[in-house]
Structure 1
Amino acid sequence: MAVSSLALTACGSKGEDTSGGAGDSGTLTIGASLSLTGKLAREGQLTKEGYQLCQDKVNGQGGVDVGGKKLKLDIQYQDDTSKPDTAAQLVDQFNDKGVKLILSSYGSANTEAQAAVVERNGQVMVDSAGADNKIFSKGYKRTFAVLSPATEYASSIVKAIAELAQPVPKTVVFLSADDGFSKTVTEGGMKTAQEKGFTVLSPQYFPNGASDVSSSLTKVKGQKPDVIIGSVHLVEGIAIVKQSKELGVIPAGFGETVAPPTPDFAKTLGPAAENVLGSSQWTTATKGEDKYFGTAQKYAEDINAKFGHDPDYHDAEASAACLALVMAAEKAGDTSPDKIRDALAGLDTQSFFGQIKFDSTGQNIYKPMAVIQVQNGKAVTVWPTDSAEAKLIWPGTKP
């Protein structure tokens, strides 16, 4: 691994902070442990794309301006195989090489494992894809998440249905993977659904990464829920819609976290994906602008040009995490991890991703989520209405 200015000046092999400053090498190295293989490989690859585009954009403008000196951004990647223990070990390895700035892996389990190591080592991590609120309940001071908290994922879908669906459905059931993130999503969604006056049926849980959820669907079939909301990732989300059709479980509408905004969702399911709702950290209608990426629409064009597909929010949240780290280094005017940490804590800026600002726990509670619906094979924003690209289609099948 190339040794950056940060590596030369920031720490010893045990994470001891020995000095700060921009150094003399002209490079700012960031470590990124990613899920490039394993069950989260697809989302991990999208996360890597977001990091790569950020590096291109920053270096295309000469690099990171740290105290008047331009440092080339160099993101170093390692594959954590979608395993939390490996993700944590790789952060330690980066620290041993003197890399004190970290971009998170994909998913809450991996990010939670990394956050503990980052705290111990005196590193600093910007989290692009670990949304579970529980990560930020442990008093960590060195991890900052650009994305909205997990409790907002299903809650936003419930709010959109309550506001826009006609006729308003009465019953909702949550089908959830059993990982920590998905459980937190379900808790938040059920709470909001009860507050909105829905009858909330008993949730059904299945193993994280399951491609067969037929048992859970069979249990709710007789209850004939008006709405099924999946607290899921891509594999489970595809399984819910596909197997619902096969088993004759036909609610008025489907909503799912994570999966529907991902291009592979509609591509895999074809017509069965039509009108499924999904929550999204970002859409091309997101308001805001910054000097590196411009607007959300310009960001979408750049992802398409570089990677040959429409972006989804996994790309965008990764780029936003990288952007936050770059902006903090520029604000600090120094590569010292402590100074960058302090700059992150005080960051309050608009970007192509919306507002980037952190509360005292390190969460970005200031950026709302959007709700998309798959219409004619594409994910379009339907809520909030002030940024909607199309009207909600309800019930879940076209008339």
Structure 2
Amino acid sequence: MHTKKAAAVVAAVALATAGCGSKGEHEASGGGDTLRIGASLSLTGSLAREGGLTKEGYELCRQAVNAKGGVPVGSKKLKLEIQYQDDTSKPDTAAQLVDQFNDKGVKLILGPYGSATTEAAAAVVERNGQVMADSSGADDKIFQKGYKRTFAALSPAHSYAASMVQAINEMAKPKPKTMAFLSADDGFSKTVAESGAEEARRLGFDVVATEYFPSGTSDVSAALTKVKSLKPDVILGSVHVAEGIAIIKQAKELGVTPAGFAETVAPPTPDFAKSLGADAEGTLGSTQWTEKTTGEDKWIGSAADYATAFKAAFGGRAPEYHGAEATAACLALVFAVEHAGSTEPDKVRDAMSALDEQTFFGPLKFTDKGQNLTKKMQVIQIQDGKPVTVWPKDVAESAMIWPGTGKR
């Protein structure tokens, strides 16, 4: 760890006050001495847990930037202010809130949690001439609509399951032969499952089934029952937290015993191992970020520095990727405003399009569609109750344990 830098970030976060700078005369993003950004988030509803983690990431960015004096814009330094609104995990509400921000002159937006809400917000952002840094809307379909004003800091949806398939292909011994995919029926999860199954077939695995269940459900027993008789070597879940926990719990209840489970989103979150206890052991998960991620920036430092600052800000709790990707999206806007030398949205958009920055999260560099294809996903495994990085090998903290269900 860069000890001096980590200490500086921790001190900066500790000194950052709850106040967000002077109000300024103008409500536009950057009026007075304030860089004002709007964020519609799932603070209640089915994605409230993930939305709360996203807000923590935005807040850590705000604190770190403000503690270093704010964002340099010409001869000024603007304090960062983030205005939050609750979209209740509903895409229509997220779109309405982004419109409301625009009515107030807030042109710079931090994305909501999830692909469905991000897709709804992106359409409004495009219409209004706003600019959005997307922290968690990974569905590739968002970026196939010709939008020019939404930029995703995170790796795209097609990487989520494919990265775990690649890790299993390289590291699991004995190598499994068959895979079954279980997926929530929302757009993001479907894209992930389809891309994962395609990669599995490309690598020579036999995909014996792809089963869908309602997004947000806590009962996946019907899908598990359908694949039980097929006895897949791997069950790969394209899920969020509640669904991911349900797969492991109900597989045990139903006697579904693959050699290993792999899931998107859920395993890196603190709730996963906490809820499942020993039953979480060996589960693989794809993640946007770990403390071993390479790269650093002037605001945060390294990934290890980020972890130190996060623990200081949030009661000693270790960070996971939802917070990190949110901080990275916020930094993307900060860098774009600084490079533009302006808060005028068209200039910020152009600067965002040309961005090429190394950060604690990895590279921030966008295609002409607004995706970050330069940054790679990592794979973790729950070992002794904690997520540890197992792939790629050059950043692995531990070898993959296989079969993954062997310790249960």
CA contact (8 A) 2:21 2:33 kept: no
> Aligned equivalents of 2:169 and 2:149: distance in 1?
37
1:137 to 115, 136, 144: 144
Q: C-alpha displacement at 1:398, in angstroms?
A: 3.8
Give the TM-score taking structure 2 as reference length.
0.93
Residue type at the aligned position of 1:328 = A
Residues 353 and 2 of structure 1: CA distance in aligned 2, closer, same or farther (over 3 Å) = closer
Q: SS at 1:102's partner residue?
A: strand
Aligned to 1:306: 313
Alignment partner of 1:366 is 2:404: no
Residues 4 and 197 of structure 1: CA distance in aligned 2, closer, same or farther (over 3 Å) = farther
2:272 to 261, 265, 272: 265
> Aligned equivalents of 1:243 and 1:259: distance in 2?
15
> Aligned equivalents of 1:165 and 1:208: distance in 2?
30
Alignment partner of 1:212 is 2:219: yes
Q: SS at 1:59's partner residue?
A: helix
Alignment partner of 1:151 is 2:158: yes
Residue type at the aligned position of 1:241 = I
Q: C-alpha displacement at 1:68, in angstroms?
A: 2.6
> Aligned equivalents of 1:216 and 1:228: distance in 2?
11
> Aligned equivalents of 1:277 and 1:210: distance in 2?
21
Residues 160 and 49 of structure 1: CA distance in aligned 2, closer, same or farther (over 3 Å) = same
Aligned to 1:111: 118
CA contact (8 A) 2:286 2:380 kept: yes
Q: Deviations over 1:161-217 (max 9, x none)?
A: 000000000000000000000000011100100011000012000000010000000
Aligned to 2:89: 82
> Aligned equivalents of 1:398 and 1:118: distance in 2?
48
2:351 to 339, 343, 359: 343
Residue type at the aligned position of 2:327 = S
Q: C-alpha displacement at 1:304, in angstroms?
A: 1.3
Q: C-alpha displacement at 1:3, in angstroms?
A: 9.1
1:249 to 256, 266, 271: 256
- Of the structure 1 ranges 307-316 and 140-149, higher mean CA displacement relative to structure 2 is found in 307-316
Q: SS at 1:284's partner residue?
A: coil
1:58 to 62, 65, 75: 65
Q: C-alpha displacement at 1:64, in angstroms?
A: 0.4
CA contact (8 A) 1:59 1:72 kept: yes
> Aligned equivalents of 1:280 and 1:7: distance in 2?
40
Q: C-alpha displacement at 1:5, in angstroms?
A: 6.0
Alignment partner of 1:382 is 2:390: yes
Q: Deviations over 1:338-383 (max 9, x none)?
A: 0000000000110000010000100001100000001111111000
Aligned to 1:317: 325
Q: SS at 1:374's partner residue?
A: strand
Q: SS at 1:131's partner residue?
A: coil
CA contact (8 A) 2:310 2:319 kept: yes
Alignment partner of 1:127 is 2:160: no
Aligned to 1:174: 181
Alignment partner of 1:356 is 2:356: no
Q: C-alpha displacement at 1:396, in angstroms?
A: 1.1
Residue type at the aligned position of 1:359 = T
Q: SS at 2:141's partner residue?
A: helix
CA contact (8 A) 1:7 1:99 kept: no
Show structure 1 runs of 4+ deviating over 2 A. 1-10
Aligned to 2:3: none
Q: C-alpha displacement at 1:305, in angstroms?
A: 1.4
Residue type at the aligned position of 1:317 = E
Alignment partner of 1:71 is 2:78: yes
> Aligned equivalents of 1:324 and 1:130: distance in 2?
15
What is the aligned-residue identity percentage?
Answer: 68
Matched residues, number? 387
Alignment partner of 1:328 is 2:336: yes
CA contact (8 A) 1:6 1:100 kept: no
CA contact (8 A) 2:85 2:97 kept: yes
Q: Deviations over 1:315-360 (max 9, x none)?
A: 0000000000000000000110000000000001100000100001
Q: SS at 1:71's partner residue?
A: strand
Matched ranges for 1:270-285 at <5 A: 270-285=277-292
CA contact (8 A) 2:390 2:399 kept: yes
Residues 123 and 170 of structure 1: CA distance in aligned 2, closer, same or farther (over 3 Å) = same
Q: SS at 1:159's partner residue?
A: helix
2:200 to 190, 193, 217: 193
Alignment partner of 1:287 is 2:288: no
Q: C-alpha displacement at 1:8, in angstroms?
A: 4.3
> Aligned equivalents of 1:239 and 1:7: distance in 2?
48
Aligned to 2:7: none
> Aligned equivalents of 1:99 and 1:6: distance in 2?
13
Q: C-alpha displacement at 1:301, in angstroms?
A: 1.3
> Aligned equivalents of 2:390 and 2:340: distance in 1?
39
Residue type at the aligned position of 1:362 = G
Q: C-alpha displacement at 1:311, in angstroms?
A: 0.7
CA contact (8 A) 1:154 1:257 kept: yes
> Aligned equivalents of 2:312 and 2:393: distance in 1?
29
